[in-house]
Amino acid sequence: MILKDKVAFVTGAGRGIGAVIAGVLGRSGAAVILNYQKGVGEPDRVVREIKASGGDAVAIPADLTKKEEVDSMIRSGSDRFGTIDILVNNYVSPIEFKKFSELDWEDIQYQIDGTIRAAFYCCKGVLSGMIENKWGRIINLNSTIIHKPVSGSHAYAVAKGAMDAFTKNLAIEYGRYGITVNIVSPGMTLTNEVLALGNKTRERQARTTPLGRLSTPEEVATVVLFFASPWSDMITGSYLPVDGGCALP
């Protein structure tokens, strides 16, 4: 298996795209540490499914905006599986769409905390081990909304735009240690949350997509697997959209 003997840490992995990413990495041979927020998703189900496929996994709750909780989670996962080789920063704060006239700065800060602060603490927690091993993979989940804005998405888009600069700067600084840092950027994806929007919303989005349909969580997860594996050894600082061409100019 392509990730045999590797340890992966996936944030926001109790449901949606994060849960599917955790499953794909687990089936590909990695031991998986699933981060989740208490009361959100079904992390125990994801762990069971990974174990049933022959892999190993553990689910650990943590508020990623609190450094002490992130550090504790990383210690617990590393004590069980060893040094973390692969970090997938998938977590995002819950999104509330507001027009700019309705926004307070706290709305933007909330999204920045869930995107950049969370990724910052997680990267800080794993980079020393990656440097020591002279190998590491950091994959940041972003959104094509930064290239194709949606009304009311201002706070979310600002935070995701910052993720682009965050990724490129890490890639430049840590490449000499054999660590790659890349972005996977889904468009509208067929998660439970998107399915709940109704057929009309999904169909309208599909009509604006060159491939004529929305992406699936599995299609996003396979691109994450690509960046986590030796297949992408010479790629860093890259931004790869998984949206069927929807965000093309």
Question: Catalytic site residues?
Answer: 156
SS3 state at 149? coil
What are the φ and ψ backbone dihedral angles of 59, each rounded to 5 degrees? -110, 130
- Beta carbons within 8 Å of 96's beta carbon, 6+ residues apart: 107
Contact 141, 17 (CB under 8 A): yes
As a whole number of angstroms, the distance between CA 38 and CA 151 comes to 30
SS3 state at 136? strand
- Beta carbons within 8 Å of 217's beta carbon, 6+ residues apart: 16, 17, 19, 20, 21, 189, 190, 191
Note the Cα 200 to chain centre separation in Å: 27
- Beta carbons within 8 Å of 195's beta carbon, 6+ residues apart: 202
